[in-house]
Amino acid sequence: MVLAGPVEPRENRKAADGHRKTDRADGGGRRALALRLALMAVPLAFFAVFFAYPVAAIVTRGCASEGGGGSAGSPRW
């Protein structure tokens, strides 16, 4: 028993796909790229605000220590 329907010839499928490529040439690829970049900017901004900036501030404060260059690993005597 064959359940599949008739198969469309390859020539017809190639011809049908040909018009789709010309439709995208009007800037649809640019819009998709702009949307993709905008969607990537949201998590990157979240990462920058809530992770990168606080870590950079902590490291900066640690490197600019006052009075003798002591750190948590080497107690001052």
pLDDT at 64: 84
Calpha distance 23→16 (Å, rounded):
12
pLDDT at 63: 87
Calpha distance 12→16 (Å, rounded):
6
Q: How many CB atoms lie within 10 A of CB 13?
A: 11
pLDDT at 51: 95
DSSP string of 7-56? PPPHHHHHHHHHHHHHHHTTTHHHHHHHHHHHHHHHHHHHHIIIIIHHHH
Domain map (residue ranges) of the chain: 30-65
Mean pLDDT, consecutive 10-residue stretches, the chain (77 aa), reads: 66 61 65 95 95 93 70 59
